């Protein structure tokens, strides 16, 4: 019996193996929450009857960003706490930041640059000065392109409107700031890694409390520097949730409890969203207080392979989670280009038969483009860049082992040597062992 299959001793979490598939599946749920929220702004009311029963959920889709932040904080901490938290290291910090650049920058740079070209084209066709569907219009010129490419366009802005050419990309700039700060933050997180799970779990929920309080009392979570509160709270909550989960031994009883808690968290989120819609009479975001349940949901899904975790771990949802970053980036450009032509082309005018037919197809097109962007831009570029640049120096000049997606020639084992490989399982790391890398879709 190997260490990977030996039952964990009492109070000792088992060894990490691979990605947590339920959390990868949760990413596509968060992404589609944001996508459908933006799609609701499509001109015309041909599908208003479809949206109406789900209005409390759809109109609060911006909260999907906060769920992303919690997920990112959890996965990044799970992956890098042991290697970066013990002591400061310039080499490890550079390696971490380069890995994040390889992950988030290539497809971001392609989509942002192409959409910048579209904004210039639209500026030449319009006379009202409105080139993007944002309250504050972005500035499209060479200097701001450099700022967009560096992903720092939001850092000096109190509000996110107009900061990014691709409207939703403000959150990418915010998350990049969290990555830059992580090599310092992880040193503090490491110091509390041995705290009881109840303490770190409560602190994770408490980290979301300020934003939840603003939503609950005012229904208006958009104020100067609110973006900084959201990324700080979400990322920290995810990190603290990771600390709590790491110290819980996964037993059948724990899995049953975690599966129940996950369902209860989803139920509380739905009830809270419906209450917020009732409280604001269809206006405001009072239901935003449900962000308190995001760390609970993420932690409980990570501790169980039953119930909701099993559903989120099915192959289509896991693949959806892997393309969720590309989906998040491409959906706004696709929607805005379609909306523009709805205004320019009489046959596509809101309410026309052609527009009514095309609207759901545009939504499906975003999923297809996200898959293609992941398959031909995001993942190949990540693999290429990881084998070059500062990342190699950070590894001490060592070459990277062949990554998933690359073709490796291996000898075929003789029949008597062939062994049946056990099914992959998803378990969590011990507090004192370095975890295997966890795939992150953030």
pLDDT at 396: 63
pLDDT at 98: 96
- The pTM assigned to this predicted structure is 0.86
pLDDT at 18: 61
- Convert the chain into a string of H (helix), E (strand) and C (coil): CCCCCCCCCCCCCCCCCCCCHHHHHHHHHHHHHHHHHHHCCCCCCCCHHHHHHHHHHHCCHHHHHHHHHHHHHHHHHHHHHHHHCCCCCHHHHHHHHHHHHHHHHHHHHHHHHHHHHHHHHHHHHCCCCCCCCCCCCCCCCHHHHHHHHCCCCCCCCCCCCCCCCCHHHHHHHHHHHHHHHHHHHHHHHHHCCCCCHHHHHHHHHHHHHHHHHHHHHHCCCCCCCHHHHHHHHHHHHHHHHHHHHHCCCCCHHHHHHHHHHHHHHHHHHHHHHHHHHHHCCCCCCHHHHHHHHHHHHHHHHHCCCCHHHHHHCCHHHHHHHHCHHHHHHHHHHHHHHHHHHHHHCHHHCCCCHHHHHHHHHHHHHHHHHHHHHHHHHHHHHHHHHHCCCHHHHHCCCCCCCCCCCCCCCCCCCCCCCCCCCCCCCCCCCCCCCCCCCCCCCC
Q: How far apart are the first and last CA of the chain?
A: 35
pLDDT at 428: 39
Distance CA 150, CA 112 (A): 11
pLDDT tens over the chain, length 442 residues: 433 333 444 444 443 546 899 999 999 999 999 999 999 999 987 888 888 889 999 999 999 999 999 999 999 999 999 999 999 999 999 999 999 999 999 999 999 999 999 999 999 998 888 999 999 999 999 999 999 999 999 999 999 999 999 999 999 999 999 999 999 999 999 999 999 999 999 999 999 999 999 999 999 999 999 999 999 999 999 999 999 999 999 999 999 999 999 999 999 999 999 999 999 998 999 999 999 999 999 999 999 999 999 999 999 999 999 999 999 999 999 999 999 999 999 999 999 999 999 999 999 999 999 999 999 999 999 999 998 877 666 666 555 444 433 333 333 343 333 333 333 333 333 333 333 333 333 3
pLDDT at 389: 75
């Amino acid at each position: 019996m190997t260490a990977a299959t030996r039952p964990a001793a009492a109070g000792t979490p088992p060894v990490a193996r691979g990605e947590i598939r339920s959390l990868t599946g949760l990413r596509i749920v968060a992404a589609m929450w944001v996508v459908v929220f933006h799609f609701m702004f499509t001109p015309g009311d041909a599908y208003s009857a479809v949206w109406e029963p789900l209005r409390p959920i759809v109109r609060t889709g911006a909260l999907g960003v906060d769920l992303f932040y919690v997920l990112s904080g959890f996965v990044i901490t799970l992956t890098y706490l042991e290697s970066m938290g013990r002591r400061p290291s310039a080499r490890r910090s550079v390696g971490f930041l380069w890995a994040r650049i390889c992950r988030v920058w290539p497809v971001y740079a392609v989509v942002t640059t192409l959409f910048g070209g579209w904004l210039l084209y639209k500026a030449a066709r319009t006379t009202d000065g409105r080139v993007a569907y944002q309250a504050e219009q972005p500035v499209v010129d060479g200097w701001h392109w450099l700022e967009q490419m560096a992903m720092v366009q939001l850092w000096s802005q109190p509000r996110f409107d107009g900061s990014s050419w691709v409207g939703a990309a403000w959150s990418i700039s915010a998350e990049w700031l969290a990555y830059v700060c992580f090599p310092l933050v992880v040193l503090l997180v490491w110091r509390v890694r041995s705290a009881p799970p109840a303490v770190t779990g409560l602190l994770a929920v408490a980290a979301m409390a300020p934003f939840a309080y603003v939503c609950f009392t005012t229904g208006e979570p958009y104020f100067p520097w609110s973006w900084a509160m959201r990324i700080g709270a979400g990322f920290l909550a995810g990190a603290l949730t990771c600390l709590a989960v790491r110290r819980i031994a996964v037993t059948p009883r724990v899995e049953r409890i975690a599966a129940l808690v996950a369902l209860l968290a989803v139920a509380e989120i739905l009830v809270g969203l419906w209450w917020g819609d009732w409280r604001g009479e269809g206006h405001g975001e009072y239901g935003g207080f449900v962000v308190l349940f995001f760390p609970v949901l993420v932690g409980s899904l990570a501790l169980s392979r039953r119930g909701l975790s099993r559903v989120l771990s099915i192959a289509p949802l896991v693949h959806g989670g892997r393309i969720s970053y590309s989906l998040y980036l491409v959906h706004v450009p696709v929607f805005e280009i379609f909306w523009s032509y709805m205004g320019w082309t009489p046959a596509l005018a809101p309410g026309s038969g052609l527009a009514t037919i095309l609207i759901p197809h545009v939504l499906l097109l975003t999923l297809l483009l996200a898959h293609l962007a992941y398959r031909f831009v995001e993942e190949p570029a990540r693999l290429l860049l990881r084998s070059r640049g500062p990342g190699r120096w950070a590894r001490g000049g060592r070459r990277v082992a062949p990554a998933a997606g690359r073709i490796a020639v291996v000898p075929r084992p003789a029949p008597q040597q062939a062994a049946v490989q056990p099914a992959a399982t998803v378990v969590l790391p011990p507090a004192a062992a370095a975890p295997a890398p966890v795939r992150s879709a953030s």
